[in-house]
Amino acid sequence: METITVELADRSYPIMIVDTLLSHRAKVSGYFGVGKVVVITNDAIARLYLDQVRSLLHDREVLEIVLPDGEQYKNLDAISHIYDELMVAKCDRKTTLLALGGGVVGDITGFAAATYQRGVNFVQVPTTLLAQVDSSVGGKTGVNHPAGKNMIGAFYQPQCVVVCTDLLKTLPIREVKAGLAEVIKYGLINRPDFFQWLANNSEGLLTLDSKLIAQAIKISCEAKAEIVAADEREGGVRALLNLGHTFGHAIETASGYGVLLHGEAVAMGMVMAADLSMRMGLLSAADALTIRFMLEEKFSMQVVPPADITVEKFMDLMASDKKAEQGKVRFILLKAIGRAYIEADVDIKLLKQTLTAGQNLCR
């Protein structure tokens, strides 16, 4: 077992990377407190892994809430349903909510935990690569609004995160690629050597080679834990984790929640961020093209956003992004591979060139 600690003083917690969910039962079970445990999952994950969680908690009083699967269900209706179930079961402040699923389940469960009786414990057991390397770590919780992604939520840290690599075996290749987009993001932000390592091992990572994927998860979690410890509530450096997300969230919202996976939209958004960085004279054309080649050729990801999203739609959605400050959109741009920075003063003319570039992004 590998253990990485998210250092947040008295709210610090471990990320435990294990091979199987039951291999460290005694250590994991210590984070569930003394009250009821409520497992929140979706119907697809329940069929695959709910029995393993029941075995993990065989000596506890366990309740289960099964939500429908899909980003389109990440809304206040899901939160209300969870509240109803918790109230009927007379769950108190000693209750622990266990998120068993991908980023959608994790975000919903975390927000429910942050707000039920003003806060109860929760534990993350992410089942997708994207959730294991990104959304389960750092305490961002919330739901979507029709006008924007993740607009309603709270910062609320889990008791622990249990990353089980065995759970990735049932992932479809589309989900694997979506997760690897977030892994690549860490290399682009501040780990150029990791970016090159990923390029060198793309084939094995796409086939979920056990040693390679465990190493990629470990480095990604270390990278995120370091940034979260420095800036928990995104007042500064944590914003770098949003590389590709300002464009990506707009793409997700415009496309309709659930049409694209989050990582797919982020891959498109990172190429758009590289393109804008190049147009602003910050990033070399060679580096911009390398980024596109990495995502499109090495990892077979779609990098061009849907053609039906107009410039006006992009501009409107980005202006409503939760990362905007005082009417200005904050972009995460690149000076080089491994050198990301925050920029709020972007030339609108150059931004519109990126938004209309289509197949010519980074070229």
pLDDT one-digit tens code per residue, 285-313: 999 999 999 999 999 999 999 999 999 99
Of the candidates 121, 144, 150, 242, the residue annotated as catalytic is 242
Of the candidates 74, 191, 245, 298, the residue annotated as catalytic is 245
Of the candidates 36, 74, 177, 249, the residue annotated as catalytic is 249
Task: Kindly report, residue by residue over 103-157, the tens digit of the pLDDT.
Answer: 999 999 999 999 999 999 999 999 999 999 999 999 999 999 998 999 999 999 9
The first and second tokens of residue 257, run together, are: 């929640």
Q: Is 145 a catalytic residue?
A: no
Indicate the residue type of 3: T
The CATH architecture assigned to 173-360 reads Up-down Bundle (1.20)
Say what angle helices 311-319 and 348-356 make with each other, to 10 degrees. 120
Of the candidates 262, 279, 292, 298, the residue annotated as catalytic is 262
The first and second tokens of residue 112, run together, are: 């429910």
What's residue 22's pLDDT?
85
Kindly report the CATH class assigned to 2-170: alpha beta
Q: Is 352 a catalytic residue?
A: no
- Antiparallel, parallel or unpaired: β 160-164 and 121-126: parallel
Of 64, 65, 122, residue with least CA distance to 95: 122
Q: Is 7 a catalytic residue?
A: no
Q: Is 71 a catalytic residue?
A: no
- Antiparallel, parallel or unpaired: β 13-18 and 160-164: parallel
The answer on pLDDT for 327 being more than 80 is no
What's the rounded mean pLDDT across residues 183-200?
98
| Residue 116 dihedral angles phi and psi, to the nearest 5° | -75, 125
Q: Is 24 a catalytic residue?
A: no
Domain map (residue ranges) of the chain = 2-170, 173-360
- Antiparallel, parallel or unpaired: β 62-67 and 121-126: unpaired
What's residue 322's pLDDT?
66
According to DSSP, residue 104 is labeled H
The answer on pLDDT for 14 being more than 70 is yes
What's residue 323's pLDDT?
66
Give the pTM. Answer: 0.95
